[in-house]
Amino acid sequence: MNPLAQNKDSLVLIVDDDTAIRSLLTLAIEEEGYQVEEATNGEEAIAKYIRLRPDAILLDALMPKMDGFACCQHLRALPGGESTPILMITFLDDQESIEQAFAAGATDYITKPIHWEVLSQRVNRLIEANFALKNASSINDKLRQQQTWENLYLDITTRLCQSRPLTGVINACLTYLQTLLQVDRVVIRYGDNKLFQELYTPASSSVEFLSFSQLSQEETYLSYYLQCQPVVIDNIHESELSSGAIATFTELNTGAMLIAPLLYQNQLQGVICAHTADAPHQWDDSLVKQFSLLANILSLSLSPQR
């Protein structure tokens, strides 16, 4: 049994029109510690792939209606389908059929009658390789994201050192943030109308008419702010907001919010906010930490002593 696969709860989609072979494949794959979902034809396989996003597919080449070659091509054209391991299973072992399988997008192939030990090794190898590829891609994404945040901090510091107009510094900051957080609206308000700037998508709208108290929800979240903690709201309808505040933000097409305090001498002076229309919206922990760090930098930049 493969403990690595068990820990990952990998799902294998088995596609075969033969009930007996499908049952045997299911037993063999479950014995390796994987979860299994079955499909009896190509059309069903495509529907289940879209719904379940399996980690690997065992695909019979010869099936009625839509054969495995056509099904494989359809799967490869789906979002995420280009990287999902597809092991083609076929009675055909001639060079032309093998080339057809790879041309259709198969990752590997195995012939019938099935050698079960070989099948297990192939499936394990394909899934482990796929997870390794996903992990590498995730690491690269995080490194690129970290570099972008560092570029943002450097840009802000450079602009401040060059005594650039503060409004230009804030606008550049908000532009970075909207891209980094992939949100519909970013806004900063500092003091009583001392500074207000925002960026928002066409699907969103301005919140300039909201008072500082309404925007920050100071009465509800002041204890968070005074501890330098951001407010993370995945879904405003399940938040601590009052019914009136929920109605206001809903009307403004806001489903989730991230709010960080701008403090001076342990007093709340302003907030920087990110709003998205999506609800629920899962805010990534690393992004929340970077957002809070940015708020601390802006607090220093906006302080009266600067």
Hey, which bits of 184-286 come out as E strands?
Answer: 185-190, 195-200, 231-233, 256-264, 267-276
pLDDT in tens, 236-281: 999 999 999 999 999 999 999 999 999 988 899 999 999 999 888 9
Do the beta carbons of residue 58 and residue 14 sit within 8 Å? Answer: yes
pLDDT in tens, 18-64: 999 999 999 999 988 899 999 999 999 999 999 999 999 999 988 88
Is the model more confident about 139 or about 289? Answer: 289
Nearest to 66 by CA among 56, 75, 77: 75
- Give me the pLDDT at residue 235, please: 95
Domain ranges of the chain: 3-135, 165-302
pLDDT in tens, 129-176: 877 777 776 667 777 777 878 877 887 777 777 766 778 888 888 988
Residue 179 phi/psi, 5° resolution? -75, -45
The CATH code for residues 165-302 is: 3.30.450.40
234-251 burial string, b = 16+ CB within 10 Å, else e?
A: bebeebebeeebeebbee
- For the cut 80, the answer to whether the pLDDT of residue 194 exceeds it is no
The Cα 29–Cα 251 span in angstroms is: 50
The Cα 186–Cα 290 span in angstroms is: 15
Do the beta carbons of residue 46 and residue 63 sit within 8 Å? Answer: no
Residue 257 phi/psi, 5° resolution? -140, 150
For domain 3-135, the CATH class is alpha beta
The Cα 229–Cα 243 span in angstroms is: 23
Q: Which amino acid is at 203?
A: A
